[in-house]
Structure 1
């Protein structure tokens, strides 16, 4: 991006563990990206959170006014709070980077609202790889897709067995995101890139043998057989979230600026 062009003004909705990680990366001085504003449950609390993060110069605004204060919104809310923000951002003719990808699977009408170049929904790769391969395969015939997620018991709640590998869920992606909305963004992203929530199969395992959030994707199509696996370190502050997710969000923002984009 030429130095003569103004940097994109980024606004973060939600300064929990993930939003704070995105804020720190943006505040590190990445060319072309400027953290201009943030919002949360209330303006006062957001202002205090920004000060605690060493970012008192970033403007604290309400969720309702965030889209008008920035060029691009980054959603780091809970899955139930995400749809209203996505709706308001697109209505304001702004683009939004969505961390709660499960919301897009549960509310497909939101995708229909992204109708202009200035009002787009960006779903970053997050904790998985190979979404361009799945999208490419979807141009032909995909026969089956299975997403198998294994996480340490601590990342799945206090009610799961801590001493033995246990399959907590087996079914399609739509039912998976309804049952585990904060744990299956990977399954939602794979479903959206490929053959949809009803045909994408999902397994969710609590496994004391793993120390990382591990995702396996198996795909059979008329052009390729795909086997992918990624193991991500969980965030120490919120083990439901992989550490790499914040970096993936910022990488998606950077992709809007570069003259040469690698991958889709």
Structure 2
């Protein structure tokens, strides 16, 4: 019989609530929710004790980050150094190469990433193993309101708010774009992690008032062939910057980590 994995959730929002509830109901194999970390008092809203981050690291075998890139930057290395494993949902933090190197070198805890709202990453990793991918493009399309950022000038904001069709908000690499959209472009970082090169992945972010489903299109070519993946997701009603599929991707990753049999890895 598998050992029980004691899991702590950081962030009781759109992702954390779904993941934490499933854990509390015993729906993730040998994983057990033992605590929740959040900067707001949750009271009876959380199905496990609300504790500080320090307490969570002491109590848990595995921490699930569901609270944003800042948590990964501030706590990631300390979690791993304590011997606790870390599952990262906010992969955009890994576009900071210094941070990524520190996390990958830290231990004895292990670091895991989840694919989140995009598929095909396993195939891109397989193709990459035969040689560098020659071209990788990601186009992400979302509702304008989910993409507004403090750094945007008045002209861009006006074009987004009055748009009647698609507006290109930013074009760049997977190194540049997630920094500008910390809550909306973790997919770009996930694709780059699969490809193994932040600068190879060209990213275009599009605002579209008709995008009632968030759309991600990945196109890649390499020595073994050409690949195209398109996914469309309903946004989370409480946090439209996040697709509703994301917490279920985290749960799938948790099941794989904790040893559930009979699933594709």
What number of residue pairs does the alignment pair up?
Answer: 250
From 37, 40, 47, the equivalent of 2:38 is 40
> What is residue 102 of structure 2 aligned with on the other side?
110
* Whole-Å separation in 1 of the counterparts to 2:50 and 2:240: 27
1:95–1:25 Cα change, 3 Å: same
Contact 2:77 2:106 in 1 (8 A): no
Query: Is the contact made by 1:101 and 1:189 (CA closer than 8 Å) also made in structure 2?
Result: yes
Give the corresponding residue for 1:135: 125
Question: 1:108-136: CA deviations, max 9, x gaps?
Answer: 223333454xx221111110001111111
**TM-score (ref. length: structure 2):** 0.89
Would the aligned equivalents of 1:144 and 1:219 in 2 still touch at CA under 8 Å? Answer: yes
Kindly state the Cα deviation for residue 223 of structure 1 after the two structures are TM-superposed: 0.5
Structure number with the higher helix fraction is: 2
Check 1:111–1:137 CA distance in 2 against 1; reply closer, same or farther (3 A cut). farther
Distance 1:195 1:144 in 2: 12
Unaligned stretches of 5+ residues in structure 2: 150-156
Aligned-pair Cα RMSD in Å: 1.7
Given that 2:82 and 2:107 are in contact with CA atoms closer than 8 Å, whether structure 1 keeps it comes out as no
In 1, Cα distance between equivalents of 2:195 and 2:168? 24
1:6 Cα offset (Å):
3.9
Q: Is the 8 A contact 1:79 1:100 kept in 2?
A: yes
SS in 2 for 1:81: helix
- Distance in 2, matches of 1:99 and 1:141, equals 26
Contact 1:104 1:110 in 2 (8 A): no
For normalisation by structure 1, the TM-score amounts to: 0.89
* 8 Å Cα contact 1:39-1:46 kept in structure 2: no
In terms of mean alpha carbon deviation, does 148-157 or 218-227 score higher? 148-157
Cα-to-partner distance string for 1:87-145 (whole Å, 9 max, x where unaligned): 111011111110110111212223333454xx221111110001111111111231010
Q: Deviations over 1:209-262 (max 9, x none)?
A: 221110000001011200100001100000000111001111101012124551
* The one of 6, 31, 45 aligned to 1:52: 45
Unaligned regions of 5+ residues in structure 1, if any? none
| CA-CA distance at 1:68 after TM superposition | 1.4
Give CA-to-partner distance per residue, 1:162-220, whole Å, 9 cap, x none: 43210001111111011111111111000011041122100000012221110000001
C-alpha separation between the residues in 2 aligned to 1:37 and 1:242?
25
- Give the conservation status (yes or no) of the 8 Å contact 2:77–2:103: no
